[in-house]
Amino acid sequence: MKFNPKARLDTSQVRRRGGQRTSSGSPLPGGMGGGGFPMPGGAGGGIGSIILVIVIGLIATQCTGASNIPGLPGGDSDVSSAPDNASLEACLTGDDANNSQFCAIVGTVNSVQAYWVDALPDQTGQEYRQAQMQEFTGGTTTECGEASSAMGPFYCPADEYVYLELGFFDAMLEGQLGAEGGPFAEAYVVAHEYGHHVQNILGDLSNAQSGGSGPESGSVRVELQADCYAGLWANHATTVEDENGVVFISELTEADIQLAIDAASAVGDDRIQERTQGQVNKESWTHGSAEQRIRWFMTGYEKGDLASCDTFATATL
């Protein structure tokens, strides 16, 4: 994946070291957001009752994006990130995104949201409202409850923020979960989380509350739809433009798509259970198998329209 060096990044969509958020939404000194894709060995528990049933990470506890994965190597170790040195002020152009992991996240957020600004009203009649991303280190307070570095990226529907700790990619996705990683694998994770925001706008996120767990449960359908929405964005990624009509991403190769597929496979419930338990229990799935996650990402990528991502209408996932 290569960003267009001439693209302008909009840093107002991302917060960094901006202070903890309380349930009232006011900032507190010294904190940030929290939660996300499954993290081996992280602290247990969800991120509050509001999203306890909106699983997005992988196994066990639930947030819209990811959850802790007990049992993998790492125990209760702190998975704090070693943040990219770039500050928001340094993320100005696509060239910056090509040279900084953090600026690449900013560019991805910009591209994903610019896509939905046009695609959502065109295909559903619903207006898209932007959701900020908050990058944090260690732990944070959100309107969905407390979160820590033991949770990967997640979306909180109560405050409509996406929360991300950069350490998830190196320590978890590319480390304990064994994904190859790379910029587009990270972009897939970001696009998946924003897929949950789209579900929230459309009123579909509550479907995670029905059907408990299992390979065809409501929570799995919510997660797979978010994967499909990530694929939709990937399909259009090289055509999405900044406010000046310059495309954000100038090159996306088949190798990039394979990195996203590899990441989707790594966070499949069955793959994680094999690592943590040595056996697979389908009835406890909350995010979908590796095969399911790959298939629905590719459905969005190959079909390129929102209607193809209706995981709630199909009898077989």
Q: Which stretch of 6-10, 183-187, 195-199, 203-207 has the lowest confidence by average pLDDT?
A: 203-207
Query: pTM for the full model?
Result: 0.84
Coil, strand or helix at 25: coil
At residue 86 the predicted structure's pLDDT band, cuts being 50, 70 and 90, is confident
At residue 196 the predicted structure's pLDDT band, cuts being 50, 70 and 90, is very high
Q: Half-sphere exposure (CA, 13 Å, Cβ side) for 229? A: 29
The tokens 């959502």 sit on which residue? 120
- Secondary structure (DSSP) of 241-310: B-TTS-BSEEE--HHHHHHHHHHHHHT-HHHHHHHHTSS--GGG-SS--HHHHHHHHHHHHHH-SGGGG-
Name, in order, each residue with C-beta under 8 angstroms of 51's C-beta and a sequence gap of 6 or more: 62, 63, 64, 144, 145, 154, 156, 157, 158
Question: Residue 30: pLDDT above 50?
Answer: no
Q: Which stretch of 3-7, 60-64, 126-130 has the lowest confidence by average pLDDT?
A: 60-64
The letter for the amino acid at 185 is A
Name, in order, each residue with C-beta under 8 angstroms of 72's C-beta and a sequence gap of 6 or more: 40, 41, 176, 177, 272, 275, 276
CA–CA dist 159, 119 (Å, integer): 23
Between 227 and 60, the higher pLDDT residue: 227
Q: What average pLDDT does range 140-167 have in this prediction?
A: 89
Question: Residue 49: pLDDT above 60?
Answer: no
Q: What average pLDDT does range 201-218 have in this prediction?
A: 84
Question: Residue 173: pLDDT above 70?
Answer: yes
CA–CA dist 189, 169 (Å, integer): 9
Predicted confidence at residue 140, as pLDDT, reads 85
CA–CA dist 203, 124 (Å, integer): 12
Predicted confidence at residue 64, as pLDDT, reads 55
Give me the phi and psi of 154, to 5 degrees please.
-155, 165
Question: Residue 75: pLDDT above 90?
Answer: no
Question: Residue 85: pLDDT above 90?
Answer: no
Domains of the chain: which residue ranges? 2-309
Q: What average pLDDT does range 260-286 have in this prediction?
A: 94
CB atoms within 10 A of CB 127: 9
Dump pLDDT digits (tens) for 110-125. Answer: 999 999 999 999 999 9
Question: Residue 228: pLDDT above 70?
Answer: yes
What is the token pair recorded at 39? Answer: 């993290």
Question: Residue 165: pLDDT above 50?
Answer: yes
